[in-house]
């Protein structure tokens, strides 16, 4: 198979779909890899490194899209990239379609076969291709929140861990999954006063056992959430409904109950955000203020630590990319029901039920695509 990867063009996105090491693995399996020039610059991977790994270097993204049978990316294709997709071409990347009708429409029109990292599952019901970026984003959310809390950045002027004689910051984390757990580890490690809310008794029990009193756990009822954020200096939105739009749990009216200068970090912004006042921001302008509350809503947080993120993502993605390349996408998905769960768009139809429901579009069972 001819596999291509291009330089990411989303604002301040420095990750890349394939590392030179991944290229070497793919070429060892007999596949041809095309890499756009300077695609790996953000992780310190030169064109020469890719060439030594066996890749052909293309002058433009258009060259890659024109030749590749499968395009492996990181972020959802931007409009100019979607215009280059063709019928039957495989796109393997993060898509986050539920809050993005424009992208969804373009992918349907393209006729491409679009497999989304974020809905590929594993045998334990987890999301293995989303997990590494959730780990990164969860840990980064505390760094970002601590910076936003500084007075010069519009925050309350509170040091996350406090100092002897002065209380630490109060951190509230909504959601105890991968993002929430990693956020809590960082916040606890920095000495913050941490409360984690979740609706699953099993998750709450697991968190309580892990943190052994270093972080409190609380059932995420509306009343408990509303009460918790009143005293919060930093609130992390770490809610995920796989494939679907995130629920809006913190309303605009609730902001009035919070301390002026408190910070909201919405890690769920890729799926539309879990705060009513959230809208996507960029690393160039990461924050804005609504009703005296600082909002950090960067939609590609892991892009800021591109090298760590790229290698973590490639570790998870590469086995699936090899399977698709070795067997063809139909056979690969037929052999692996977890990979089949990643099929979001096929032959001009939506094959992910939560996406179809969120956007009010028709749904086709993905099994139809491989039958």
Active site residues: 96, 270
110 C-beta neighbours (distance < 10 Å), count: 21
Distance in angstroms (rounded) separating the CA atoms of residues 161 and 170? 9
Exposure of 165 by Cβ count < 10 A (0-12 exposed, 13-18 middle, 19+ buried)?
exposed
Structure tokens at 217: 């756990």
87 C-beta neighbours (distance < 10 Å), count: 11
In the beta sheet, which residues pair with residue 114?
91, 345
Are 72 and 16 within 8 A, CB to CB? no
Distance in angstroms (rounded) separating the CA atoms of residues 136 and 275? 21
In the beta sheet, which residues pair with residue 363?
350
CA 308 to chain centre: 14
DSSP H or E stretch at residue 33: strand 32-36
For 61, what's the count of Cα atoms within 13 Å in the CB-facing half-sphere?
19
Distance in angstroms (rounded) separating the CA atoms of residues 252 and 255? 5
Are 338 and 162 within 8 A, CB to CB? no
């Amino acid at each position: 198979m001819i596999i291509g990867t291009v330089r990411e063009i989303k604002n301040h996105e420095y990750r890349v779909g394939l590392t030179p090491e991944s290229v070497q693995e793919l070429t060892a399996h007999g596949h041809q890899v095309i890499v756009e020039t300077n695609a790996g610059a953000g992780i310190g991977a030169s064109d020469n490194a890719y060439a030594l790994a066996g890749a052909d270097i293309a002058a433009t993204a258009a060259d890659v899209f024109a030749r590749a049978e499968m395009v492996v990316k990181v972020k959802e294709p931007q409009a100019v990239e979607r215009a280059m997709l063709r019928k039957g071409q495989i796109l393997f990347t993060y898509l986050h379609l539920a809050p993005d009708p424009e992208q969804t429409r373009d992918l349907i029109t393209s006729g491409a076969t679009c497999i989304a990292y974020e809905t590929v599952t594993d045998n334990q019901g987890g999301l293995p291709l989303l997990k590494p970026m959730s780990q990164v984003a969860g840990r980064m959310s505390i760094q970002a929140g601590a910076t936003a809390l500084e007075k010069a950045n519009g925050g309350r002027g509170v040091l996350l861990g406090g100092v002897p004689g002065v209380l630490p910051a109060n951190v509230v984390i909504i959601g105890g999954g991968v993002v929430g757990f990693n956020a809590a580890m960082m916040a606890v490690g920095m000495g913050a006063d941490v409360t984690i809310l979740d609706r699953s008794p099993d998750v709450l029990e697991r968190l309580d056992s892990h943190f052994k009193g270093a972080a409190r756990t609380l059932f995420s009822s509306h009343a408990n959430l509303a009460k918790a954020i009143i005293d919060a200096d930093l609130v992390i939105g770490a809610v995920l409904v796989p494939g679907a739009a995130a629920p809006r749990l913190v309303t605009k009216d609730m902001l009035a109950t919070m301390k002026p200068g408190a910070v909201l970090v919405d890690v769920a912004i890729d799926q539309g955000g879990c705060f009513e006042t959230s809208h996507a921001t960029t690393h160039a302008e990461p924050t804005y203020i609504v009703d005296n509350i600082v909002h950090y809503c960067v939609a590609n947080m892991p892009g800021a630590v591109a090298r760590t993120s790229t290698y973590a993502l490639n570790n998870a993605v590469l086995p699936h990319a090899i399977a698709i390349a070795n067997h063809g996408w139909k056979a690969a998905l037929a052999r692996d029901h977890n990979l089949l769960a990643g099929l979001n768009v096929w032959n001009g139809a939506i094959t992910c039920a939560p996406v179809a429901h969120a956007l009010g579009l028709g749904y086709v069972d993905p099994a139809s695509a491989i039958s």
